Structure 1
């Protein structure tokens, strides 16, 4: 199916899913000193955008050089998200589900990769660029617009946390941990299914 700029923007926004990932964003940003949150959010969104742009141009070549497939990328991302999801559900009050020490800020992992620039987002930009390479500037524009919306959502995470309160956010975070578990398992199963069916 051929995409327009608008359909590519909507597709990327659905794949990035900034609203669905909001409780995860809030949990991560809670570990960051208040005065650094806006800068960290902007930096992580920028890093995710760079990763996806690089994957748009060089993803196919990189996978070929490393003898990797989109299926292995999908399974690996699913495993990482599954570990995060389990920690979100069963982690203790003083423990970060994201591998961050209190007061430490994320750098690339887990905010930029894999939560924003995850396997599904990488596969999406790769497919857009490979199917209609003559419209690469449209895909770059759609990606930048989708990342801008995601960045705005991330910048508002602390405000939303203050509005809802820590107890509500904690409950939502555990609920999203369940959802994230299902998403992670689905990613793994999809990658394995494509591997076995493709291998026949």
Structure 2
């Protein structure tokens, strides 16, 4: 498997980058104190990195024993992300504020999965795992994951501090607009999966 560092970093910037999680993180943690927001950020990124490294090491083995294709993985992962995006778009702010979600649960899902590590990253990791020719190739991917994880932490910690100065209504509006863009990404992932399966 030959892939350049720029391609690796770009792949994981999309598949594990912070932008898709940032607005949801701000909106969902605005009631928490700064220490708790930082905890959500660290646990969320740790969840994404741990899951990503597990897929990198075991992805090819899981694919062989569970008999799924990269196309079906993309199609199902895209569908999950689409359903999550639709929920974000349709849920009301009053429903959100009436619930107090456990910070660790919030960090694991939706922050860690499917927002930080999203279906693009999952498909890429399983593909890298299946196509890696040596340990050096896997090590390069692991380093790229760590680099993007550091970016995730920095952005989310900054967002936790910035969020206090943004009105709730503005955050809610931006979150829903961004959810529409994430839904579009989810549809693209599903289309790519359908093409890989020969459906399209």
Quote the residue 1:185 is aligned against: 187
Quote the residue 2:100 is aligned against: 102
Quote the residue 1:155 is aligned against: 157
Deviation per residue, 1:139-169 (Å, 9 max, x gap)? 2111101111012112222222223322221
The structure where helix makes up a greater share of residues is 2
Give runs of ≥4 in structure 1 deviating > 4 Å. Answer: 31-34
In structure 2, distance between residues paired with 1:197 and 1:143: 32
Contact 1:55 1:125 in 2 (8 A): yes
In structure 1, distance between residues paired with 2:69 and 2:99: 33
Contact 1:89 1:178 in 2 (8 A): yes
Quote the residue 2:66 is aligned against: 66
Query: Cα RMSD (Å) of the superposition?
Result: 2.5
In structure 2, distance between residues paired with 1:23 and 1:163: 13
List runs of 5+ in structure 1 lacking aligned partners. none
Deviation per residue, 1:20-39 (Å, 9 max, x gap)? 44212223333655432211
Quote the residue 2:87 is aligned against: 87
Distance of aligned partners of 1:54 and 1:158 in 2 relative to their CA distance in 1, 3 Å threshold: same
In structure 1, distance between residues paired with 2:93 and 2:14: 31
Structure 1 residue 181 displacement after superposition: 1.7
Quote the residue 2:46 is aligned against: 46
- TM-score (normalizing by structure 1): 0.84
Distance of aligned partners of 1:88 and 1:31 in 2 relative to their CA distance in 1, 3 Å threshold: farther
Contact 1:52 1:117 in 2 (8 A): yes
- TM-score (normalizing by structure 2): 0.84
Number of equivalent positions? 196
